[in-house]
Amino acid sequence: MQIYNTLTKKIEPFVPHEEGKVKIYTCGPTVYHYAHIGNLRSYLFEDILVKTLIFLGYDVTRVMNITDVGHMTSDGDTGEDKMYKGAKREGKTVQEIAEFYTNAFLKDLEKLHVKMPDILEKASDHIDIYIKMIEKMLKDGYAYQKEGNIYFDISKATNYYQLSGKKQEELLIAVRDSVSLDTFKKNPFDFGLWFTTSKFENQIMKWDSPWGVGYPGWHIECSGLACHYLGEYLDIHCGGVDNIFPHHTNEIAQSEAYLGHPWCKYWMHGGHLNDKSGKMSKSKGEILTLSLLEEKGYPPLVYRYFCLNSHYRNSLTFSYESLKGAKSAYDKLKRRIQLLSPIGEIQKDKFQDYIEAFKEALSNDLNTASALTILYDVLKDKMITDATKYDLIKKFDTVLSLGLFEDEEIDNKMNTAYIEKMIEKRRLAKENKNYEEADAIRNQLLKEGIRLIDNRDGVTYEQIKE
């Protein structure tokens, strides 16, 4: 597998720390609002990554956090805590907001066929871990205390600017809004590990610590959960490109300070989904959510298909016109697949060739568009049997997860054509005295909930009631 590594700015062969095992950390949502479809694009890319690695035979463990404290409206130390802002907006408690939007997020993932992370944990449930890490960083001279807050001293970091690939001056201009020019700090990019003062007035979730009652910074949460659940060596860390600075940059600085050695080898970042006006936002106008797309007649898996058609690293502009195009292609694809009969010979060599081609596409830095082309090539191939196509596409769909074989429509109109085709195949099998195949077709349909009834005048069928 070859992946583009933001750390080295190169496509590199993927070699996990421990052979055959992959440890992945993916930044989770800040649960102060619904996820917009831009956020969801990042989770879709991560899902393809996880499923590709599993398809290639790796044993994958993925951890994700739920940010329910400490993420400011800027991505640095300034502004309000997003959770507090959400609670104020809706007249609810922070806990109620967190619970409501966590559930909404999980529902979105389910609808998009995203595999649940193996470990999904709330940031606020692991305060003791952050405290332990901060204590060590203070002891080792990586952090300092100023006016009741604890800051990380970036001058002590090994290569603070490597991930972003930018110099301090460039970053200062690029992220003016995200970084506070806090007078407590030695360097403007030093960042908060623990706060007891600055934004304390508004902070509802707070805990006791050796430095007084307060709350953790956003960045330490991800380092804390990653090190706690995945150990000292992380293989892959993912997020959207906006996470590169300051969030992931700070995660590297503090994790390596805490561990005393390099931490994560591969950093993967998904390009943004933008709307026509530019950046997708939760604060201006109508939020583009998955439910909104559904209301407008676009099922979640159509959005998944839309995303898989472009490379995860490219930015992508959303429009209803392009989603409409994706919907019609997706519907057509499913109709073609539903006409395939699963019965018959499987051509093992052809099967293996296509599996290899599919693996190769995804191993090339997750080229999902190429993987989809291979799926279409399979459908078009006149030299392979329906059964081979059927099995291949079933396999592909373990990664693509486009629900190509599950359909509400399978119970009604689309299914009619499929059943009739199967009845005709069975008739031909009988005519050729191939009773084994005829029985196999009958049994296959039975498994799918359809009972064939042989009459004097031909064959009819009924649906088996549950």
Scanning residues 251 to 310, which ones bind ligand AMP (CB under 6 A)? 270, 272-273, 280
Residue 222 interacting partner from Zn ion, ligand AMP, none (CB closer than 5 to 8 Å by kind): Zn ion
Q: Are 350 and 384 in contact (CB under 8 A)?
A: yes
Q: Which long-range contacts (CB under 8 A, 24 or more apart) does 410-416 make?
A: 410/338, 410/448, 411/463, 414/334, 414/335, 414/338, 415/338, 415/450
Q: β-strands 215-216, 191-195: how paired?
A: antiparallel
38 binds ligand AMP (CB under 6 A): yes
6 binds ligand AMP (CB under 6 A): no
Angle subtended by helix axes 386-400 and 368-380, to nearest 10: 170
Q: Which residue is nearest to ligand AMP (CB)?
A: 240
Nearer to ligand AMP, 38 or 403 (CB): 38
240 binds ligand AMP (CB under 6 A): yes
Nearer to Zn ion, 126 or 334 (CB): 126
243 binds ligand AMP (CB under 6 A): yes
Nearer to Zn ion, 27 or 60 (CB): 27
Q: Which residues pair with 2 in a beta bridge?
A: 13, 364
Residue from 23, 41, 304, 426 touching ligand AMP (CB under 6 A): that is 41
Residue from 6, 7, 16, 30 touching ligand AMP (CB under 6 A): that is 30
Backbone angles phi, psi at 276, to 5 degrees: -60, -30
Nearer to ligand AMP, 72 or 333 (CB): 72
Q: Is 364 exposed, middle or buried (0-12, 13-18, 19+ CB in 10 A)?
A: middle
Compute the least distance from the CB of residue 248 to Zn ion, in Å: 7
In angstroms, the CA 244 to CA 213 distance is 30
Residue 52 interacting partner from Zn ion, ligand AMP, none (CB closer than 5 to 8 Å by kind): none
Compute the least distance from the CB of residue 280 to ligand AMP, in Å: 4
Residue 41 interacting partner from ligand AMP, Zn ion, none (CB closer than 5 to 8 Å by kind): ligand AMP
Contact code string over 48-87 relative to ligand AMP, x by CB under 6 A: -------------------x--------------------
Q: Give the DSSP letter string of 263-325.
A: -EEEEEEEPPEEETTEE--SSSSS---HHHHHHTT--HHHHHHHHHTS-TTS-EE--HHHHHH
Compute the least distance from the CB of residue 125 to Zn ion, in Å: 16
Residue 262 preceded by cis peptide, ω within 30? no
Residues forming contacts to ligand AMP in the complex (CB under 6 A) are 27, 29-30, 38-39, 41-42, 67, 239-240, 242-243, 270, 272-273, 280
